[in-house]
Structure 1
Amino acid sequence: MAERLITIATFNDVTEAHILKGRLEAEGILCFLGDENIVGVHPFYATAVGGVKLKVPETDVMEAKAILNRIQEGNTDFDYDTIELAPPMQEHVESTKCPNCGSDNVEQQKFNKTVFSISYLFLGFPLPFLNRKKFVCHECGHTWKSN
């Protein structure tokens, strides 16, 4: 059977509701916001619909209220040691050197500038034709294509 959601707080401001929702989620409590869209679109309807409702499962009500009370008291200590951080994403960087001068200050050109400019002039919008592996060296100005 599905667990009941209990409203533990209401807000007239969507931003404040999202901040506290994020804090509860950081503490490991599943929570939802009710009526956030109607209040976000028409802020004056907040009173009519009862504000943005912060809801948590029935089993987490006591813990969530305790966290909200700590925040209201100004005691917002958070144990950052318990959070598991994902390793930073690393971009694949291809090390290409200029065959003319050996510099690594090289940029891959994304489109043919001539076709791009002419299509923009005559059609009113650019047609980006991609150049595969066309490079330009910023040191000596050499341009070459790679396989």
Structure 2
Amino acid sequence: MPERLVTIAAFNEPTEAHIMKGRLEAEGILCFLSDEHIVGAQPFYSVAVGGVKLKVTEQDEEDARAVMARIQSGNSEFLLDDNIELAPPMQEHVIATTCPKCNSDHIAEEKYNKTVFSLSYLLFGFPLPFLSHKYRCYNCGHTWKIK
């Protein structure tokens, strides 16, 4: 016999419903949203259809209501499992060189040849990105290529 779904909350905004759905799923509770597309496409219909409804199975209703009460009271903490591998921090592309003329480290890489880029845009209506890989010093204006 199929399980019956029970509506445990209704939201005016689909975003709020998705946030709560994500929290319940993180707690291991299977849940569904209904009428989210109607409200998303026509926000003024939210009152007419009763908002975006968050539904859970009958057997998970008590657990879901307990989790929601914890979240709404502000006492909810979501602890990460120690076995989860987090993504490494983002690293910036650092140019490991200095200007050969003034020895400044205030430099930047110019990836495209500006002349070819501009001419191709004028002639063809779209730019052709010819790579140049030159470096320019912001202190003295010197440009050079690294070999």
Q: Please state which band the TM-score falls in when normalised by the shorter chain.
A: 0.7 to 0.9
Say if 2:70 and 2:76, in contact at 8 Å, map to a contact too. Answer: no
Say if 2:11 and 2:53, in contact at 8 Å, map to a contact too. Answer: yes
What is the TM-score when the length of structure 2 is the normalising length?
0.73
What's the C-alpha RMSD, in Å, of the aligned pairs?
3.1
Residue 29 of structure 1 and its aligned partner are, at CA, apart by: 4.0
Question: How many pairs are equivalent?
Answer: 143
The farther-off stretch of 56-65 and 107-116 is 56-65
Say if 2:112 and 2:130, in contact at 8 Å, map to a contact too. Answer: yes
**Over residues 34-93 of structure 1, what are the superposed CA-to-partner deviations in whole Å (9 max), with x where a residue is unaligned?**
331221011233355443121335553222211223444xx212335x236834233342
What is the TM-score when the length of structure 1 is the normalising length?
0.73
The equivalent residue for 2:97 is 96
C-alpha change, 1:28 and 1:107, in structure 2 (3 Å) is farther
The equivalent residue for 2:76 is 78
Gaps of 5+ in 2: none
Following the alignment from structure 1 to structure 2, what is the Cα–Cα distance between the partners of residues 101 and 110? Answer: 22
Residue 138 of structure 1 and its aligned partner are, at CA, apart by: 1.0
Identity in percent: 62
